Chain A
């Protein structure tokens, strides 16, 4: 056994392992692990940020969609209101025009009536004059007195009526 067991080799091996442990820890494991962790963190952050950005964008989209819908509704309402108002105005104008036309027609009727009455009156006057003149010619005297005029008028009224 004495030939195989070699204490210095054991001591050197232990020292080698300890030294290698610290050197590799400092040169290899620590920097690479830290670097990879840092990268993993930065990737995680980027993904989280993208996710939150996406959510925010979606929220914004919903908001804008809602706003757009509101605006459309509003526009629709305004158009409807305007149409209603226009209809009302239209009807009002038509009504007014109709009224006016009726008034004009009435006035025209009244004018025609008045004219007619005047004409009748004129004709009657003429007839009275003519009758009285004829009667005067017949009896050769003036019969154009107030009483006779009344008489003839009454007569004509009776005939016309």
Chain B
């Protein structure tokens, strides 16, 4: 049981996969970053494959990619408004990144290091500790994504309203509201960050508990909710709030 508690605690920490030390700075690559790279590679390969030879009359994979892009276009138009088109690439990028990141645990087909060591008795696997888990269970990742979203919100406001207009928007409709508006810029990333982190980490821990308690059959069904549905829902919420903030900033 204690071992299991340790394992759960380990889920919350980032595992260093590659240790890099550059000029005294620790630049080690953690498993979250590696999984993100896998996610990015999947997205980039799919983008290349799906956008090859676009035809006027869409068929097969082209209709899928058109539906996806059209969805982001409409989503941006609905949430952001008339300037929505400008933010489709950003909204779409975080949406795709988050969806694939959140549900990638479904594809965790890599056996654990312990199993591999028991199987092969290779020294290499003794310290092997890599599993495909959502990078969004790492608070560093969600925090960065939330901060990047706020950067996008600020950039959008300045781009559309110019610096003076953007600064003035802090005093509208009442100068009294200024402290709250400034406070917003701290509250929003924190809420975005912790909502995503808590949900995904919670789902991962619950799934881990279920695997521990019922190793077969039941996890399959519950995984549909905790790995797929919750992941997609959280990605949607994150992107929806981000685009609402952007829409408010450019209004």
Beyond A6-B30, A10-B143, A28-B69, list 5 extra A-B contacts (CB 8 Å): A12-B29, A21-B89, A21-B90, A21-B93, A27-B47
* B92-108 near A? 1/0 per residue, CB < 8 Å: 11101100000000000
A16 at the interface (CB under 8 A from B): yes
Q: Give residues in B with beta carbon < 8 Å to A.
A: 12-14, 25-30, 32-33, 36-37, 40, 43-44, 47-48, 50-51, 54, 56, 65-66, 69-70, 72-73, 85, 88-90, 92-94, 96-97, 135, 138-141, 143-145, 147-148
Which of A18, A28, A42 is the most central at the interface, judged by chain B CB atoms within 10 Å of its CB? A28
Cβ-defined contact, B65 with A32, below 8 A: yes
* List of B residues within 8 angstroms of A3 by Cβ: 13
Cβ-defined contact, B40 with A16, below 8 A: yes
A33 at the interface (CB under 8 A from B): yes
* List of B residues within 8 angstroms of A18 by Cβ: 148
CA distance A16 to B35 in the complex (A): 11
CA distance A24 to B91 in the complex (A): 11
CA distance A13 to B54 in the complex (A): 32
| Distance between A27 CB and nearest chain B CB, rounded to angstroms | 4
CA distance A21 to B145 in the complex (A): 12
Query: A30's closest neighbor in chain B, by CB?
Result: B89
A29 at the interface (CB under 8 A from B): yes
* List of B residues within 8 angstroms of A17 by Cβ: 93-94, 97, 144-145, 148
| Distance between B143 CB and nearest chain A CB, rounded to angstroms | 7
Known contacts A3-B13, A17-B97: A28-B141 contact under CB 8 Å: no
Q: Give residues in A with beta carbon < 8 Å to B.
A: 3-14, 16-21, 23-25, 27-33, 35-36, 39, 42
* List of B residues within 8 angstroms of A7 by Cβ: 26, 140
Query: A38's closest neighbor in chain B, by CB?
Result: B56
Q: Among B28, B44, B138, B141, point to the contact of A24 (Cβ < 8 A).
A: B44
* List of B residues within 8 angstroms of A36 by Cβ: 66, 69-70
* List of A residues within 8 angstroms of B26 by Cβ: 7-8
| Distance between A33 CB and nearest chain B CB, rounded to angstroms | 6
Query: A8's closest neighbor in chain B, by CB?
Result: B27
| Distance between A127 CB and nearest chain B CB, rounded to angstroms | 127
| Distance between A16 CB and nearest chain B CB, rounded to angstroms | 5
* List of A residues within 8 angstroms of B37 by Cβ: 16
Cβ-defined contact, B93 with A31, below 8 A: no
CA distance A32 to B12 in the complex (A): 39
Cβ-defined contact, B54 with A9, below 8 A: no
Query: A25's closest neighbor in chain B, by CB?
Result: B89
Q: Among B56, B65, B72, B141, point to the contact of A13 (Cβ < 8 A).
A: B141
Cβ-defined contact, A28 with B143, below 8 A: no
Task: Provide 29 A-B residue pairs closer than 8 Å at the C-beta atoms, listed in order of the A residue.
Answer: A3-B13, A4-B140, A6-B138, A6-B140, A8-B26, A8-B29, A9-B32, A9-B144, A12-B33, A12-B36, A14-B144, A14-B148, A16-B33, A16-B37, A16-B40, A17-B145, A18-B148, A20-B44, A20-B97, A24-B89, A25-B93, A28-B51, A28-B69, A28-B92, A29-B88, A31-B54, A32-B54, A36-B66, A42-B56
